[in-house]
Amino acid sequence: MRSERVRLTLDGAPLVVPKGTSVAAAILSTGIGRFRDSVGGEPRGPLCAMGTCFECTVTVDGRPYVRSCLVECVDGMEVATHERAP
Amino acid sequence: MLLLDRRPHLGGNVWHPVLGGSRVPEAIPLLRRLDRPNVRIVTGAEVLDLPRSSTMLVGTDTTAEEVGYGQLVLATGARERVLPFPGWTLPNVTGAGALQLLAKSGLPVQGRAIVVAGSGPLLLAAAAYLRAQGAEIRLIAEQAPRRRVWRLAAGLVRERDRLRQALDLRRQLGGVPYRTGCWPVRAEGDGRVERVVLRQGRHEWAEVCDFLACGFHLVPNTELAELLGCRMRAGFVTVDGYQGTSIPGTYAAGEPVGIGGLELARVEGAIAGFASTDQRERAADRFAERRRLSRFRGALDRAFQLSPQLRAVATPETIVCRCEDVRVGTVAPFRTGREARLQTRCGMGRCQGRVCGPATEFLWGWNPRGIRPPIVPATVEQLTRRAVPDAVSGARS
């Protein structure tokens, strides 16, 4: 059975993933590991995958600092990496 | 009854739904039982604060609401202990269970080379899952020495269910190297991890990998219990026979009480559930099962105690507080965590010391920080909007 898919954009580019995919998993699946830059300007990506570490935060539909591991992709969602640390 | 879960769906980490797969069979009847009019489930919800007695401030997305309660059961689970080593902040270095969770939530790992490292039974469970999804597990590196792992394994003979689980894992991991007394000393790569250097005894070598999944056993999530003022002992919540904490009407079950695994957590949860709803006899019916399952708790702690040699892996340049990019050499001269925090911001970032706290405790014996609300980062709107009645905010605008 072919699973249902959702369409979103990642840094402006279209991305299609199976429904239920977390935003963190969707980003990693494109080969991107650098979700954001730390306060010192280092590349960072998911560490805990359970909402504790805040390393995987991205901008979702204009809202900054969203933990991408805790949010599922939905149709029309706009995700942007490379936010700066607060 | 109100059930709050931080994730978008119920099931926690162990019963996290698998994308495209069916639910764990044991979870299905429990989820079905929650489908009742007197149960309200709010997912994506976190307790931010306890503004008054028997009142919690619950945050969801951008909003927050105050919720009053009579009885409270804390089932806040555990997180992985991650320890600093050079390169541990590189993208694609994750916790061990963390990579398993990412795979369950839709990250394809087919053909990816993965090194699983750290400590504890979670390494085996994560490696077996990732392998079943088509990943190439290069190596499992367990920091505990061989004799302690064997002693734990020998003790399983008395634990039929756990023995069967262990044998299953061993079968699923056939052919994967499992090294004991072995840990990563650095991760290297350009923009993400490309190889990890491991040490076992005096032997050091590099493994090429796409991911390093590394977690050193578990630490309990006790922030909410501590904010409530529950009595703690050695980092865990103290409970009586009915899972009651020192705060009347407040119960705790699972890892916050002691790291003991799924089956024990389920029994403790049942006892707490019965006790908090005046069904003390039904709660007491489970005491024997809890006693049997909790024998294993001490055995786990002993087996996966951290080797003191792991303290030597981080160099002065290694970041210890990832939120604030504070390096080991910057904080090491301080005598207490409090001094370090005030002078360097170590532990004052967004994770509020949940990552570096257990690390600095292991490295320098610092006690974890005091708990202050909000216990997870909250927006100003979440903290103010609920407190200001509509009439007042209307008059101001």
Q: Is B73 on the interface with A (CB under 8 A)?
A: no
Whether B142 and B149 have beta carbons less than 8 Å apart is answered as yes
Q: What percent of chain A has pLDDT over 70?
A: 94
Q: Are B90 and B212 in the same domain?
A: yes
B206 & B331 share domain: no
- Tens-place pLDDT, residues B217-258: 999 999 999 999 999 999 999 999 999 999 999 999 999 999
Considering the domain boundaries, does residue B373 fall inside one?
Answer: no
> What residues make up the domain containing B335?
314-364
**B200/B223 same-domain check:** no
If you write DSSP's letter for every residue of B87-140 in order, what string do you get? TTTSTTEE-HHHHHHHHHTT---TT-EEEEEEESHHHHHHHHHHHHTT-EEEEE
Same domain, B128 and B92: yes
Return residues 203-222 of B near A (CB < 8 Å): 221
Can you tell me the ipTM of this complex?
A: 0.96
Assess whether B91 and B210 both reside in one domain. Answer: yes
In a domain, B167, yes or no: yes
Q: Domain spans of chain A?
A: 5-84
**What are the chain B neighbours of A45 within 8 Å (beta carbons)?**
91-92, 94, 192
Q: Is the pTM of this model over 0.80?
A: yes
Give the one of B20, B79, B108 whose C-beta lies nearest to A52's C-beta: B79
Q: Considering only CA atoms, which of B294, B72, B87 is closest in space to residue B185?
A: B87
Distance in Å, alpha carbon of A71 to nearest chain B alpha carbon: 7
Residue B375, in any domain of the structure: no
Query: Which amino acid appears at position A10 of this protein?
Result: L
Banded pLDDT at B156 (limits 50, 70, 90): confident
Q: Compute CA B388 distance to the chain's CA centroid, rounded to the nearest angstrom.
A: 35
Q: Residue B396: its pLDDT value, please?
A: 34
CATH code, domain with B161? 3.50.50.60
| Selected residue of B6, B9, B14, B19 to mutate for chain A interface (largest A Cβ count, 10 A) | B19
* Cβ–Cβ contact B133 with A under 8 A: no
Secondary structure class of B375 (helix, strand, coil): coil
For B59-81, what is the mean pLDDT?
95
Structure tokens, B4:
């709050």
Chain A CB contacts of B89 below 8 Å: 38, 42, 44
Q: Does B298 touch chain A (CB under 8 A)?
A: no
Q: Is residue B382 part of a domain?
A: no
pLDDT digits (tens, 9 = 90+) for B270-313: 999 999 999 999 999 999 999 999 988 888 889 999 999 999 99
Closest Cα of chain A to B63: distance in Å?
A: 13
Assign domain A5-84 to a CATH class: alpha beta
Domain match, B148 and B197 both? yes
Assigned domain for B247 exists: yes
Q: Looking at residue B392, what is its pLDDT?
A: 36
- Domain assignment present for residue B138? The answer is yes
**pLDDT, tens digit, 9 for 90 and up, residues A6-28:** 999 999 999 999 999 999 999 99
Judge whether residue B110 has pLDDT over 50.
yes
Q: Does residue B166 lie within any of the structural domains?
A: yes
Whether residue B208 sits in one domain with residue B247 = no
Do residue B104 and residue B183 come from a single domain?
yes
CA distances for B188 relative to B100, B181, B196, angstroms: 22, 21, 6
State the count of interchain CB pairs (< 8 A) between A and B: 130
pLDDT tens-digit series, residues B195-222: 999 999 999 999 999 999 999 999 999 9
- Kindly determine whether residue A33 and residue B62, on different chains, have CB atoms separated by under 8 Å: no
Whether residues B43 and B114 share a domain: the answer is no
- Verify cis geometry, omega within 30 degrees of 0, for the bond prior to B374: yes
The single residue listed with the structure tokens 């993965």 is B114
Query: Is B193 part of a structural domain of the chain?
Result: yes
Lowest mean pLDDT among A79-83, B74-78, B304-308, B324-328: A79-83
